[in-house]
Structure 1
Amino acid sequence: MAIESAEQALQILHIEDSPADQGLTRIILRRAGMACQIHPVDTLEALQKALLDQSFDLILADYHLPGFTAVDALALVAPLDTRPPFVLLSGAIGEAAAVDIMRLGMTDFLRKEDIARLPTVIKHALEMHEAYRAREQAVAELAQSERRLAELAEHLQSSIEKERAAIAREIHDDIGGSLTSVKFDLAWITRNAPADQPLHAHAVAALEMLQHALGASQRIMMNLRPPVLDQGLVAAVQWLAESFERRTGVAVQMRTSSERIAASPEVQLVAYRCAQEALTNIGKYAEASRVEIDLSDREGFLTLEVSDNGVGMTPAQREKPRSFGLRGLHERARTVDGWLDVSSQPGNGTSIIVSVPLPDH
């Protein structure tokens, strides 16, 4: 049945019960110079065997065959991992019916009276199939790339938090302890050195600088990994709100559904960091006079909302290059299967909502 013998010949499975139509198809493709091999079948059993025995580059099918139709044939082809393009070559159905059939997954339709166009239709079907496969591969590669980026982001966030905790412990145990010891020594000098001696004045100045260094180390340690998180998320966010209010003079109102929210340490840390980043952005850009924080664990979700009455943002400002604050919050939320929503309009403030599903208790 070979039209033309070639190592790279196109393998065509022809579902057709008419020997005359089989012969005409071979003649048309031969005259078009197509290097292909045609494998005719006319029963479902023969079709199943052919599909099991080898793979095909294209399937060409009449619609009505003894005991089955092209729709039945398509049902056998559809589950194949490498499904070839399926071209309907029939004169027994109308255009409308052919369109309905093609919606089931057929690649193209050609009337038998137009069989002279078959080589063109086959080439078009193969091109469409190749484009579809390339698109599927690109989508799969993109999805894989996004998964890898998400895994990398999660790994980086986890590594950063571990490093922050380690640095905070070092500041507390080593630097804080050393500075406190020096503070005691300087305090002893100020108490025992005569007040009118230069040593006393130097000791007092050094003690003031040391107190400043202690305060700075405590602030750095709290920003890295606040011990207040060990008291729960509500207490940690409350501390954030109070610190922000003292530092900026912007009034902060906080509401919570309960005094303690049961959530994993990972979820609490994500919510805390989101609140911290939101307040930092408000202090830098919002020009707000009021901030509201809502923290809830109702309906199986941990929800944190930080809103302000500041200048707001345009879509362009939110999407500007190298603006990683909000993108970082999105990635943080995604590491615990949560999501982040930002609502903002110029002149109407900004609202940032983080939602994370909580496990059933």
Structure 2
Amino acid sequence: MAIESPDLALQILHIEDSSADQGLARIILRRAGMACHIQPVETLAALQQALQERSFDLILADYHLPGFTALDAWALVEPLPARPPFVLLSGAIGEAAAVDIMRLGMTDFLRKEDIARLPMVVERAMEVHEARRAKERAMAELAQSERRLAELTEHLQSSIEEERASIAREIHDDIGGSLTSVKFDLAWITRNTPADQPLHAHAVAALEMLQHALGASQRIMMNLRPPVLDQGLVAAVQWLAESFERRTGVAVHMRTSSQQIAASPEIQLVAYRTAQEALTNIGKYAHASRVEIDLSDHEGFLTLEVTDNGAGMTAAQREKPRSFGLRGLQERARTVDGWLDVSSQPGQGTSIIVSVPLQAH
């Protein structure tokens, strides 16, 4: 590793009480073509002062020094936020003891009798150090990216729920009100038109279609933002189960730990949307004949489990590129510090479990 520019010279702190060994290390590194600035220290106080005054690219350390050892030096170096590589250069300990010391986190060990290999050891230590720093930077960037993604997901989920609530209000106030007014008019026409007149038959047919439209608008409104959530999570999930059973004919059995479960609105919404998505998937794909829903708040956790006896899923089906339903549920659970687990085997049904800690909310 030839370093020609003085600006790029390695800054080395050499913990060594022998001036001969200090000079030998300097000569060997320079003969190898390494531009370096070596600052020797002989006491623990001098080491502490040097670490406070500046940063170093690498630390060389003898093991036995007057009044302290390399372990004492390492205790000062290890907590540094940008800890440099620490190479033990000593003839006072054996290989086995050196290996035990290295497990503490030091970078490398070289016996003084092999000091000719010092340039290679320094080069390797710097390469390992740079690789570690690159990994730490990559991990930090990944963690930051994941935090931003989680924040974006939470924001999107909140925006979606607000938009759903807004649309539900418009359906109830505008469309629902208008349809109800038309229903009254059609009802008046049917009451005041002879039954044998064509107008009467048309009015009756229109009234039936209007009743269907009113039912559809009510169903859409409830799916967007169910008012039943205001009565509590248990009532809301029970309403989902009953609606699903009426619509599909699939038997749903629900168990709950109590009739009222105390949870924040955010947690209740996560649990409700999980049950809603699970039942929607069962209705579309599972071909099930029975569904079981368990809702409990035992041991400080809200747990919702939806299980069916349908076709099940393969791992490939769960991971297909544009399958966002389960992934969306996982992200929802994370927004309230919870987690989602999916268990499924082809032909053996599917179980979806969401668990959320209640204490933090």
Normalising by structure 2, what TM-score? 0.96
Question: For 2:4 and 2:153, how far apart are their aligned partners in 1?
Answer: 55
> Which residue pairs with 1:153 in the alignment?
153
Return the alpha-carbon distance in structure 1 between the equivalents of residues 62 and 92 of structure 2.
9
Cα distance in 2 for partners of 1:283, 1:343 equals: 18
Would you say the 8 A contact 1:157–1:332 is kept in 2?
yes
Q: What corresponds to 2:112 in structure 1? A: 112
Per the alignment, residue 270 of structure 2 pairs with 270
Q: Partners in 1 of 2:48 and 2:181 — Cα distance?
A: 86
Secondary structure of the 1:24 match is helix
Q: Residues 232-270 of structure 1, C-alpha deviation per residue, up to 9 Å, x if partnerless? A: 111111111111111111111111111111111111111
Alignment-derived partner of residue 95 in structure 1: 95
Partner of 2:179: 179
1:70 positional shift: 0.8
Give the deviation of 1:142 after TM superposition: 0.6
Alignment partner, residue 359 of structure 1: 359
SS of aligned partner of 2:328: helix
Which secondary structure state, in structure 2, belongs to the residue aligned with residue 333 of structure 1? Answer: helix
Please name the residue that 2:72 is paired with: 72
Match of 1:41? Answer: 41
Amino acid at match of 2:310: G
SS of match in other structure, 2:353: strand
Displacement after TM superposition at 1:202 (Å) = 2.8
Q: CA deviation at 1:284?
A: 1.4
Please state how far the C-alpha of 1:210 moved relative to its aligned partner: 1.4
User: Paired residue for 1:238?
Assistant: 238
Q: 1:109 Cα deviation (Å)?
A: 0.8
State the distance in 2 between where 1:55 and 1:151 align: 36
What do residues 34-70 of structure 1 show as CA deviations (whole Å, max 9, x unaligned)?
A: 1110100110011111111111000011111111111
User: Which secondary structure state, in structure 1, belongs to the residue aligned with residue 6 of structure 2?
Assistant: coil
Shift of 1:12: 0.4
In 1, the alpha carbon distance for the partners of 2:350 and 2:208 equals: 41
Displacement over 6 Å in runs of 4+? none
Q: In structure 1, how many angstroms separate the alpha carbons of the residues matched to 2:268 and 2:80?
A: 47
Aligned to 1:318: 318
Shift of 1:350: 1.1
Give CA-to-partner distance per residue, 1:83-126, whole Å, 9 cap, x none.
11011111111111111111111101111111111111101100
State how far apart, in whole Å, the 2-side matches of 1:7 and 1:154 are: 48
Relative to structure 1, is the Cα distance of residues 17 and 266 closer, same or farther in structure 2, using a 3 angstrom cutoff? same
Match of 2:335 in 1: 335
Mean Cα deviation higher: 234-243 or 340-349: 340-349
Does residue 203 (structure 1) correspond to residue 213 (structure 2)? The answer is: no
Q: What's the RMSD between the two structures over aligned residues?
A: 1.6
Q: How many residues align?
A: 359
Amino acid at match of 1:45: A
1:84 is paired with a residue whose SS is coil
* CA distance 1:154–1:23, change in 2 (3 Å): same
Identify the range of structure 1 (17-26 vs 309-318) with the bigger mean alpha-carbon deviation.
309-318
Q: Give the aligned partner of residue 227 of structure 2.
A: 227
Q: Secondary structure at 1:7's aligned position in 2?
A: helix
Equivalent in the alignment of 1:13: 13
Q: How far apart in 2 are the matches of 1:244 and 1:310?
A: 15
User: Where do 1:54-69 residues align within 5 Å?
Assistant: 54-69=54-69
* Aligned equivalents of 1:189, 1:5: Cα separation in 2: 98
**Structure 1 range deviating more: 257-266 or 139-148:** 257-266
Q: Deviations for 1:156-177, whole angstroms, at most 9, x for unmatched residues?
A: 1111111111111110111101
Q: Tell me how far apart the structure 2 counterparts of residues 356 and 141 of structure 1 sit (CA, whole Å).
A: 27
Change (3 A) 1:360 1:158: closer
Calculate percent identity across the aligned residue pairs. Answer: 87
Does residue 282 in structure 1 map to residue 282 in structure 2? Answer: yes
CA distance in 2, matches of 1:340, 1:194: 61
Superposition deviation, residue 5 in structure 1 = 8.1
Which letter does structure 1 place at the counterpart of 2:336?
A: V
The Cα shift of 1:360 comes to 8.6
Q: Cα gap change, 1:240/1:5 in structure 2, threshold over 3 Å: closer, same or farther?
A: closer
Tell me how far 1:293 sits from its aligned partner.
0.6
Give the Cα–Cα distance (whole angstroms) in 2 for the partners of residues 7 and 134 of structure 1: 22
Given that residues 4 and 35 in structure 1 are in contact (C-alpha distance below 8 angstroms), is that contact kept between their aligned partners in structure 2? yes
Partners of 1:300 and 1:360 within 8 A in 2: no
1:182-238 deviation line (CA, Å, top 9, x unaligned): 110111112112333333233222222211211111111011011111111111111
Code of the residue aligned with 2:325 in structure 1: it is G
Once the two structures are superposed, residues 134-171 of structure 1 have per-residue CA deviations (whole angstroms, 9 ceiling, x without a partner) of 10011111111111111111111111111111111110
Tell me whether 207-216 or 83-92 shows the greater mean CA deviation. 207-216
Checking the alignment, whether the CA contact within 8 Å between 1:13 and 1:60 is kept in structure 2 is yes
Give the AA of the match of 2:313. M
1:4 CA displacement: 8.8
